[in-house]
Amino acid sequence: MKKIVLLAFVLMFFSVSILSTQIAVSGSATPDVYPGESIQDAINSAQPGDTIFVLAGTYYEHVVVNKTVSLIGEDGDTTIIDGNGTGIVVLVTANNVVIREFTVKNGNTGIYLDHSNDSTVRENNVIYNVDAIFVRFSNNCTIYQNLVGNNTHRGILVTDSWHFTISNNKVYGNRWYGINANASVNGVIVENEAYENYYDGIGLLNSNNCTVARNNVSDNLFFGIWLDSSDGNFIHHNNIINNGIQATATLSTNRWDDGVAGNYWSDYEDRYPNATELDGSGIWDTPYVIYENNQDNYPLVPEFPTWTSTLLILILLTVAIAIYKRRLLKTPIH
């Protein structure tokens, strides 16, 4: 009997030891990083799976994220990583990394995902770099709700990658490109604001089977949407407004509508003054021709409501309902 009890105790001891080891490996939140401390030191000390919280302040560093961690700033406007005019400010070389709520500025590249699969860059301000966000050989990555502006070359560039998502970003005032994919496939570029960029708002080069939908693409100096040697892409429900050339597609064959509706073109009535709306459908009766093998068969009469305008409408509707209910409660019952 004593041997059985002893054996049970030994087994329990080893079980607890193994469980403790597994918990240690899985990681937990690390201490906060305060101004004057090093983000890189915190990363070096972290375990895979840890979350590193960085308090508001300015950190003059070039950070390398080489393990699976979540790096989260206290506030996207006041938690600043400054590259001091050189190098890559935040380099990510591990998988499943999250970079969230920072201002990343003054680098040759702001945030660079290099061979980093399943990673997320969200709610950051990436400004005043040469290139802002650069994704290379990184699959299943998400670039979400970032403000990317006033960079001297490129805003968001994805190259040699698969299954990427670029959504809900504001990309503006970049001296070369806004949002571009190069030699990439099966990407989704949706619900972005791409405006006042120098060369193009959204561009695809040697990139196939991507979806470009529900974006506002406006006031870009050369092109709104630019495609070159890119096939099988699906481009619909975008507002394409006041660009130097609204869209072009050389050496490419693509779909510019979903079979029911296409895109809104601000110059449509100037190009097709004799077109009429099809029976109140919100669709013009004449296709909008972009280039050979590229035309919008169902151009939209009104602008398509994007996520920002839809959100504003929902907020206004919620406020109106609340005011109406309050008035009902104040109305005396006779």
Sheet with strand 154-159: strands edge to edge? 63-65, 88-92, 109-114, 131-136, 154-159, 177-182, 200-205, 223-228, 245-250
Same-domain check for residues 271 and 145: yes
Residue 49 has phi, psi (to 5 degrees) of: 100, -10
What pLDDT was estimated at residue 319?
Answer: 56
Q: pLDDT by residue (tens digit) across 288-301? A: 999 999 999 999 99
Residue 310 has pLDDT above 80, yes or no: no
Question: Which CATH number covers residue 279?
Answer: 2.160.20.10
Claim to verify: residue 203 and residue 317 sit in the same structural domain: no
Q: Are 326 and 248 found together in one domain?
A: no
Question: Helix, strand or coil for residue 262?
Answer: coil
Alpha-carbon distance 216 to 300, whole Å?
A: 14
* pLDDT value for 23: 26
Is residue 12 in some structural domain? no
- pLDDT at residue 314 tops 90: no
Residue 19 lies in a domain: no
Higher pLDDT, 63 or 306: 63
Task: Say yes or no: 290 and 212 in one domain.
Answer: yes
pTM assigned to the model: 0.83
What pLDDT band is residue 4 in, cutting at 50, 70 and 90? Answer: very low
Same domain, 217 and 152: yes
SS3 224: strand
Whether 43 shows a pLDDT value over 60: the answer reads yes
Report the pLDDT value the prediction gives residue 240, as an integer from 0 to 100: 98
Tell me: do 279 and 321 sit in the same domain.
Answer: no
CA distances to 236, 298, 305 from 214, in Å: 7, 15, 8
Q: Is 238 exposed, middle or buried (0-12, 13-18, 19+ CB in 10 A)?
A: buried
Query: Within 10 A of 9 (CB to CB), how many other CB atoms are there?
Result: 10
Tell me how many domains the chain contains. 2
Supply the range of the domain harboring residue 273: 25-307
45 and 185 part of one domain: yes
> pLDDT digits over 133-146, tens only?
999 999 999 999 99
Let me know whether 317 and 299 are in one domain.
no
119 versus 31: which is more confidently predicted?
119
pLDDT of residue 237: 98
CA distance 166 to 146: 10
Which residue type, as a one-letter code, is found at position 131? D
6 falls within a domain: no
Residue with tokens 């983000």: 39
Judge whether residue 227 has pLDDT over 80. Answer: yes
Provide the pLDDT confidence category of residue 316 given band limits of 50, 70 and 90: low
The answer to whether position 245 is within a domain reads yes
The pLDDT tens digits for 255-272 are 999 999 999 999 999 999
Q: Across the chain, what does the average pLDDT equal?
A: 88
Q: Do residues 274 and 333 both lie within one domain?
A: no
Q: Which residues contact 66 (CB under 8 A, 6 or more apart)?
A: 43, 93, 94
Distance CA 301, CA 268 (A): 9
Q: Of 10-24, 37-51, 233-247, which gets the smallest average pLDDT?
A: 10-24
Indicate whether 319 and 249 sit together in one domain: no
List helix spans (H) across the chain. Answer: 2-26, 39-45, 268-271, 307-330
- Asked whether residue 314 falls in the same domain as residue 302, the answer is no
On whether both 200 and 322 belong to a single domain, the answer is no
Predicted local distance difference test score (pLDDT) of residue 159: 98
Question: Residue 328 — very low, low, confident or very high, per pLDDT cuts 50/70/90?
Answer: low
